[in-house]
């Protein structure tokens, strides 16, 4: 016995790698976050929602995709606060998520309280407030990301797209595709593909980067939300 330190543990040879051999190591380490689907090569696409810096996401798409993202964020330990004018379409998800723990809460538009986000208790705020969402009382901050859902391109969309850290675009009309292409500086090929995207496919983009992602529901998600769909 050593005073204050307990029993002496077993002695083992240290794991040592010569510096010259480090280049031979290959460790498959991906980004940390929520798996939102697979890319064109079949690799997992991950969205890092829980961040120490403000993170704004705007999704021009369907309710189904926003709800899958909310469920998966809750599964990573985040609290999800939904600001919505159609609580009835979120109530089933709020009751099912968390296995009895209240990790998804619903709030009327304009009445979402401060969430007290922290590194140990990150928050995702989902704003499902229709075509013209008012300016939010609760904004993005450290460990608190905000996802704004727009069913279609609206007069408020340019402002939201410009301030967003990340933009997701699902199937839209050709006219909407042209406007989004100008706002996000998308190449012609990407713009032409937007009106033809299948249900569950999203173009995630910033002014510099873009990636198509297919989101497929798990068995539990499909049982709760139904199959992937663009139109609610």
Query: Strand 201-205 vs strand 210-214: parallel, antiparallel, or unpaired?
Result: antiparallel
Picking from 27-31, 39-43, 71-75, which range would have the lowest pLDDT averaged per residue? 27-31
Q: In what order do the strands lie in the sheet with 144-150?
A: 44-47, 34-38, 210-214, 201-205, 166-169, 55-60, 144-150, 123-128, 79-84, 104-107
Q: Are 63 and 232 in contact (CB under 8 A)?
A: yes
Query: From CA 71, how far away is CA 203, in angstroms rounded?
Result: 20
C-alpha to C-alpha distance for 20 and 30, rounded to whole angstroms: 25
Residue-level pLDDT at 112: 93
On whether the CB atoms of residues 37 and 215 are closer than 8 A, the answer is yes
Which of 14-23, 62-71, 75-84 shows the lowest per-residue confidence on average (mean pLDDT)? Answer: 14-23
Query: How far is CA 14 from its chain centroid?
Result: 41
User: Which DSSP string do the residues of 96-126 spell out, in sequence order?
Assistant: HGGGGS--EEEE-TT-PPP---BTTB-EEEE
Which of 102, 101, 108, 73 is closest to 87 using CA atoms?
108
Q: Report CA torsion sign: 71, 77, 83, 88.
A: positive
Q: What average pLDDT does the segment 77-88 reach? A: 94
Using one digit for the tens of pLDDT, what is the confidence trace for 154-187? Answer: 888 999 999 999 999 999 999 999 999 999 999 9
Where do we find the tokens 């008012």?
134
What pLDDT digit, counting tens, does each position of 134-157 carry?
888 889 999 999 999 999 998 889
pLDDT for residue 60 is more than 50: yes
pLDDT band per the 50, 70, 90 thresholds, residue 4: very low
Strands 79-84 and 166-169, bridge-based pairing: unpaired
pLDDT for the residue 18: 65
CA distance 73 to 123: 9
φ, ψ for residue 27 (rounded to 5)? -115, 120
pLDDT one-digit tens code per residue, 118-136? 999 999 999 999 989 988 8
Residue bearing the bigger pLDDT, 208 or 86: 86
The pLDDT-based confidence of 30 (bands split at 50, 70, 90) is very low
pLDDT of 208 reads: 85
Look at residue 16 in the predicted model and tell me its pLDDT.
Answer: 56
CA distances to 52, 194, 208 from 166, in Å: 16, 17, 11
Q: How confident is the model at residue 23 (pLDDT cuts 50, 70, 90)?
A: low
Look over the chain and give the mean of its residue pLDDT values, rounded to a whole number: 87
Question: Considering the chain, what percentage of its residues have pLDDT values greater than 70?
Answer: 84
What percent of the chain stands above pLDDT 90? 70
Task: Provide the pLDDT for residue 2.
Answer: 47
Q: Given pLDDT bands bounded at 50, 70 and 90, which one contains residue 69? A: very high
CB within 8 Å of 41: residues ≥ 6 apart: none
């Amino acid at each position: 016995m050593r005073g204050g330190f307990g029993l002496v543990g077993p002695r083992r040879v240290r794991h040592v790698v010569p510096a010259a051999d480090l280049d031979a190591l290959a460790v498959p380490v991906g980004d940390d976050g929520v798996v939102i689907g697979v890319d064109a090569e079949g690799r997992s696409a991950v969205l890092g929602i829980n961040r120490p810096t403000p993170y704004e996401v705007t999704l021009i798409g369907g309710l189904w995709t926003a709800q899958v993202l909310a469920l998966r964020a809750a599964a990573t330990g985040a609290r999800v606060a939904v600001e919505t004018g159609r609580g009835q379409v979120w109530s089933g998800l709020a009751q099912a998520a968390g296995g009895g723990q209240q990790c998804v809460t619903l709030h009327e538009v304009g009445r979402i309280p401060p969430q007290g986000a922290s590194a140990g208790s990150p928050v995702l705020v989902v704003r499902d407030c229709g075509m013209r969402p008012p300016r939010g009382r609760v904004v993005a901050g450290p460990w608190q990301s905000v996802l704004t859902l727009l069913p279609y391109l609206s007069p408020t969309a340019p402002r939201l797209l410009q301030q967003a850290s990340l933009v997701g675009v699902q199937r839209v009309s050709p006219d909407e595709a042209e406007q989004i292409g100008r706002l996000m500086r998308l190449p012609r090929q990407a713009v032409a593909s937007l009106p033809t995207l299948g249900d569950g496919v999203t173009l995630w983009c910033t002014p510099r980067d873009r990636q198509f992602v297919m989101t497929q529901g798990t068995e539990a998600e499909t049982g709760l939300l139904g199959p992937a769909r663009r139109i609610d």
